[in-house]
Each structure stands twice: as structure tokens, then as C-alpha cells.
Amino acid sequence: MYQKIILAYDGSVESQQALLNCKEISQWQHAKIHLLSVVPNDTIPIGHETSYYTEQHNQVEELRRVKTLKEGVARLNEEGLEAIGELLKGDAVDQIVKYASSIGADLIMVGHKHRDNWLERWWRGSIPKALIEQSPCSVLVVIIK
């Protein structure tokens, strides 16, 4: 059923747990796993509330994400699974949805940790929620407690 699985992966606790679940699912199906990491585009500072990324910050973040992707792919390959890593730039939801459409993905997996503070939930938004609304395929949200 699932031949092409996308895992939104940034090395966080949430994505590490999703990676563990992804290994189990892909073994059932002999699926190819696409680890995706999305680096935001440069943003323009609007005020104190808005964070922005400098060119130097983007380069450091890209290097960190490439390293994380390589480690994730290596972990999956060691398990005998077929996996590739892709670093994308832009809005996380937009890039994941575009990539899923371009490869004909069957499943997108993403980790999620419930936030206790309503302000934190509001401020951070919900990538899993947006993916569910926009995805061309099924979305599996791995909840981290």
C-alpha cells in the first residue's frame, strides 16, 4: 500500500520518534523513504516579534540539516531500508506538499508534540494540521508525549 513515504525530518525529538515509526511501516511495505528537511527562506524583519534569518544563519542551518539528513538516511540504510534525504527551501508545508505531489507519495509522516501553553500553540501554529488540509496523500501524525 505505501510505496513512497515522506518523513518530515529535522532531528528533533518529534521527528526522531516519527523515524522509528517510519522504519516499522516501511518494513511492512518495502517502501522507499524520503527524508525531507525544509529550511525557511530569508525573512525580512518587521519588528521585534518577527524573527529573521541572516545569510550566515541560513548557511549554518543548512549545514546542520544536511548532517541531520545524512544521519537519518544512514540509520534507515543500516536497517536495510531504502532511503534518500532531500533538503528543500521555503515554507515547510508548501515544500512538503509540492514534493509529495512530484513523487506521487502515498504517505507523509510528521512528528508532533502537544504544547501545554495556549500562547505557544497559537504562536507556533501546526504544520501537521496544515499538511492534513493540503496534502495530496494520507498524513500520519506521530504524537510525542
Whether the per-residue pLDDT at 44 is higher than 60: the answer is no
Domain containing 29 equals 4-144
- CATH number for the domain spanning 122: value is 3.40.50.620
Measured in degrees and rounded to the nearest 5, phi and psi for residue 55 equal: -60, -40
Q: What is the pTM of this model?
A: 0.79
For residue 48, the model assigns a pLDDT of 47
Which of the residue ranges 6-20, 37-51, 123-137 has the most confident prediction, judged by mean pLDDT? 123-137
| Res 116: pLDDT | 65
Percentage of the chain surpassing pLDDT 90? 32
Number of domains into which the chain is organized: 1
CA distance 66 to 23: 20
Cα–chain-centroid distance for residue 93? 9
Mean pLDDT of 76-88: 90
pLDDT at site 85 = 95
pLDDT at 110: 86
Separation between Cα atoms, residue 24 and residue 79, nearest integer Å? 10
